[in-house]
Amino acid sequence: MTLIPENLRARLASNGAAQPETDHIPLVKLFDPCGPATWLVTEMMADGDTLFGLADLGFGCPELGSFSLSEMETVKGAFGLGIERDIHFVGRFPLCVYAAAARNKGRIVEAEAILRRFAAALGIAQSPEFEIPSPEQEHGDG
């Protein structure tokens, strides 16, 4: 499986070209199938390799930052398995909500109730800007 198919690359690149302070909804979730590491990706820079998002390596301190797609594609963990993309992931809130919840819980969380609570605390309401895209729009095989 391609970690990031072309349709998502285009959307991530568009986000990467947007205003620097834009708080995008994560479009891609990557994970280690044999460990706790998880990444929520919102942007791809013009070089086509540098990704930006929320990284949780499983040490209890998730953080926002950049990481390399080409490096992630070469990682081999237990049993020779590489990093995978969660094809069922659909981001529902801007990245700041995931980051606030992750800092509080010490890990990336996807529980809707927890995320809604943090969104409310940040003054972020579910709005048309943050509509949930259909899986067909978000996830292509590749």
pLDDT value of position 21 = 85
How far apart are alpha carbons 133 and 105 in whole angstroms?
26
Please report which confidence band the pLDDT of residue 128 belongs to, taking 50, 70 and 90 as the band edges.
very low
Is 70 exceeded by the pLDDT of residue 127? no
Contact between 69 and 4 under an 8 Å Cβ cutoff? The reply is: yes
Give the gyration radius of the chain's Cα atoms.
14
10-48 pLDDT tens trace: 999 999 999 888 999 999 999 999 999 999 999 999 999
53 contacts: CB under 8 Å, gap ≥ 6? 26, 28, 39, 40, 41, 42, 43, 64, 65, 67, 95
For helices 95-105 and 112-121, give the axis angle rounded to 10 degrees.
110
pTM value > 0.75: yes
| Helix, strand, or coil (residue 84) | strand
What is the structure's pLDDT at 1? 62
CB atoms within 10 A of CB 51: 24
Q: Residues 131, 137: contact at Cβ < 8 Å?
A: no
What confidence tens digit (pLDDT) does each residue in 39-77 have? Answer: 999 999 999 999 999 999 999 999 999 999 999 999 998
Q: How far apart are the first and last CA of the chain?
A: 6
